[in-house]
Structure 1
Amino acid sequence: MEKVVTFGEIMLRLAPQEFLRFSQANSFDVIYGGGESNVAVSLANYGVPVEFITRLPENDLGKCAMMEMRKRGVKTDNIVWGGERLGIYFLETGAVSRGSKVVYDRANSAMSEIKPGMVDWEKVFDGATWFHWTGITPAISQSAADACLEAVIIASEMGLTVSTDLNYRAKLWKYCDNKKREGIMEKLTAHCDIVLGNEEDAEMHFGIKPEGISVQTEGHNVKAEAFLSVCQQMMKKFPKAKKVITTLRGSISASHNSWAGVLYDGKKMLETRQYQITHIVDRVGGGDSFMGGLIYGLLKYPEDDQNALDFAVAASCLKHTIKGDANLVTVSEVEKLMGGDASGRVSR
């Protein structure tokens, strides 16, 4: 497999231990992670050469974030150094009927101040076949959106497969109104070959809704057929897209979710089995683990979209059992679950 490149912000995650509320915490667990860095870690675990591009402050925290990537086998040679601070997010992990909560502290982070021209994309993309970005990067600042647009244009011109996870984050889009946000995301997504997004992403970014279903009221019983119209509308809006993928998360509670996925290639819709994740350890990074599994699957099984989709869902199902942002599983563990072994028996 040839090199994959991901681009985005890695942050310091601070979380009270176990299921404590912020008001109960006397200490915080430290983890480094972010949407695109999580995808990079997944790919490195699967043996795919991968490089993560970001901008980090040249201080101890920035260097710790870089070392976390290197520790996981992710290439970091072309990280841009500069700025004053690393972005932070605080996570309060929910349970049962109490949802998780995220508080961002990432204003004026090093990555939010990245600008076009800071990354030598022709050098970065040399030898690469795939570029991945998410909707989080353009959400943090106009300059980050501009840098992301520069990257997708060059990647597209150089013939790389370009993928995105639309990842709408209401708490981040603060610098522009809804109309401008839609315009930014349309320009970026127009260059993509592979588009991943759930029903909220499609609606909030592009006004595209599933027909005949309210995900909020029917979220425990989500049907794949309801999203066929979303996929069709997305492909009509973005003709370069070869595949549109949607994750299907049924939220019975904060601790129990159902999990599946669908893929539409313009002709047929593929669907996975539905997993019941009954004791969630950490759902943060679930979508990133799906994307990492999907990229691996599409590279490994270029003629078998069903196998690629099944791999992505099984990989992300396992991620829900792992503390932290990144999915620290192997190909053999994913394939074991794909084969129907969900016993969790001790491997001796």
Structure 2
Amino acid sequence: MPLPIRTDDCALDFLSLGALIHRLDPGVTPFRKARAFDVHVSGGEYNVAANLSDCFGLRTGIASAMVNYPVGELVQARVREMGVTPFYKHFEHDGVRGPNIATVYSDRGQGVRAPVVFYNRANEAASLLKVGDFDWAKIMAGGVRWFHSGGIFAALSENNPELIIEGMKAAKAQGAIISFDLNYRGKLWKPVGGDTRAVETLRRIVANVDCLIGNEEDMQKGLGVKGPEVTKKEESKLNPDVFFGMIENTAKEFPNIKLVATTLRETHSANRHDWGAVLWLDGKRYVSPTAQLDVIDRIGGGDGFAAGTIYGLMSGRDTQQALNLGWAHGALLTTYHGDTTMATLAEVEAFAGGTGARVQR
């Protein structure tokens, strides 16, 4: 049974709720030796909205915190460039301590040297958001087809999960599909109660969700769902059987969930990955093709997958085509610097359809 996606003309095809961040990226240079950085504007929830706007041409929005200082101005400019409509709760910076737009630091690694990611999310404006900060009735007055949030935003404070649930309920009342990317990050949950709080919090959120994005670790550590026994330690991570077993267990505990999807990745080095994806819809299993990726920047690949798959579903493609579009877009996103897309729809469709990397003339 297909998802009941609205087909009438809505002001917003897609609305995300989450934190905006800026990522400092020294490329392949380890951070301790870095002298220069690229600045990427990102956020697990925002990236999906940006990708759906810039590559796929949908009308998207982001509800987030914004700080009135130069970093905030930089972030706002990048959001405008990607064509995403902002709905900001503004905060004033005190000139010294914040509130701040969070900083994420990451070097890309190279070959046998793994990428490294760490954070400064002290006094983050997004963690100060609370129920009542957004006028959902006004934001959604023209209709919204799809609402999305994620586990990174949920981990930032005790208030954020309640705000997520408030937004989900408002969107559900509009007839929107509700999606959530578990995006379990142990570093973020550790200061606020670790796995115990993560499970309690994420389970309450996921009870409101139609579509879930997450891998085995997300479901085990984020939702506390037990997975099937893995008998072969050398089993390829591209084998979908274990993931589908995990999905079946998750669906039993959350019968509201209609769709679950994730990427499958076998990492041979920082720059050489095998890449696949799987999707489960109302008990039916779908598996993407596989590809070997020469990775420039892996961060954002999962959000690229989510965006392509959501576009496929919203544009009326069949389920296999939707999965393949997500798989193709996520793969292409790892070939760009930064967290958000530089692909065109034609490029995504060509790769999803089997076009290789021959010169396009």
Structure 2 CA distance, aligned partners of 1:214 and 1:105? 39
Query: Do the aligned partners of 1:51 and 1:74 also contact (CA within 8 Å) in 2?
Result: yes
One-letter amino acid of the structure 1 residue matched with residue 50 of structure 2:
V
3-state DSSP class of the match of 1:235?
helix
Report the counterpart of residue 237 of structure 1 in structure 2.
253
Matches within 5 A, 1:81-160: 81-82=90-91, 84-126=99-141, 127-160=143-176
* Pair 1:300 & 2:300 matched: no
3-state DSSP class of the match of 1:57?
strand
Report the counterpart of residue 25 of structure 1 in structure 2.
34
Which one of 167, 177, 184 corresponds to residue 201 of structure 2? 184
One-letter amino acid of the structure 2 residue matched with residue 298 of structure 1:
L
After the TM superposition, list the runs of 4 or more consecutive aligned residues in structure 1 that deviate by more than 6 angstroms.
none
Structure 2 CA distance, aligned partners of 1:31 and 1:206? 30
Structure 2 CA distance, aligned partners of 1:52 and 1:220? 37
CA offsets per residue over residues 274-326 of structure 1, 9 Å max, x none? 1111x210000011101111110110125x11110010000001011000010
3-state DSSP class of the match of 2:328?
helix
Report the counterpart of residue 342 of structure 1 in structure 2.
356
Deviation at 1:221, TM superposition (A): 4.3
Matches within 5 A, 1:41-52: 41-45=50-54, 46-52=56-62
One-letter amino acid of the structure 1 residue matched with residue 309 of structure 2:
L
Structure 1 CA distance, aligned partners of 2:231 and 2:28? 30
3-state DSSP class of the match of 2:339?
coil
Which one of 275, 279, 283 corresponds to residue 267 of structure 1? 283
CA offsets per residue over residues 128-176 of structure 1, 9 Å max, x none? 1110101111111112222112111222233210001110011111212
Deviation at 1:214, TM superposition (A): 7.6
CA distance 1:253–1:219, shift in 2 (3 Å): farther
Structure 1 CA distance, aligned partners of 2:223 and 2:234? 22
Structure 1 CA distance, aligned partners of 2:194 and 2:106? 27
CA offsets per residue over residues 64-84 of structure 1, 9 Å max, x none? 1111011111111x2111152
Deviation at 1:209, TM superposition (A): 4.3
Query: Do the aligned partners of 2:127 and 2:159 also contact (CA within 8 Å) in 1?
Result: yes
With 145-154 and 328-337 compared, the bigger mean Cα shift is at 145-154
Query: Do the aligned partners of 2:238 and 2:276 also contact (CA within 8 Å) in 1?
Result: no
Which one of 213, 217, 223 corresponds to residue 230 of structure 2? 213
Report the counterpart of residue 291 of structure 1 in structure 2.
306
One-letter amino acid of the structure 1 residue matched with residue 207 of structure 2:
A
Report the counterpart of residue 257 of structure 1 in structure 2.
273
Name the % identity.
Answer: 32
Deviation at 1:243, TM superposition (A): 0.8
One-letter amino acid of the structure 2 residue matched with residue 311 of structure 1:
L
* Pair 1:34 & 2:43 matched: yes
CA distance 1:125–1:94, shift in 2 (3 Å): same
With 224-233 and 152-161 compared, the bigger mean Cα shift is at 152-161
Query: Do the aligned partners of 1:134 and 1:165 also contact (CA within 8 Å) in 2?
Result: yes
Which one of 79, 88, 91 corresponds to residue 88 of structure 2? 79
Query: Do the aligned partners of 1:220 and 1:258 also contact (CA within 8 Å) in 2?
Result: no
Q: CA RMSD in A?
A: 1.7
Structure 2 CA distance, aligned partners of 1:289 and 1:12? 18
Q: How many residues align?
A: 342
Query: Do the aligned partners of 1:87 and 1:109 also contact (CA within 8 Å) in 2?
Result: yes
* Pair 1:197 & 2:214 matched: yes
Structure 2 CA distance, aligned partners of 1:272 and 1:206? 25
Structure 2 CA distance, aligned partners of 1:99 and 1:321? 17
One-letter amino acid of the structure 1 residue matched with residue 279 of structure 2:
L
Which one of 187, 190, 193 corresponds to residue 171 of structure 1? 187
Structure 2 CA distance, aligned partners of 1:93 and 1:102? 9
With 197-206 and 156-165 compared, the bigger mean Cα shift is at 156-165
Structure 2, unpaired ranges of 5+: 1-8, 93-98
Structure 2 CA distance, aligned partners of 1:257 and 1:328? 20
Which one of 1, 5, 17 corresponds to residue 7 of structure 1? 17
TM-score of the aligned structures, taking structure 1 as reference length? 0.94
Structure 2 CA distance, aligned partners of 1:214 and 1:281? 33
Structure 1 CA distance, aligned partners of 2:336 and 2:230? 32
TM-score of the aligned structures, taking structure 2 as reference length? 0.91
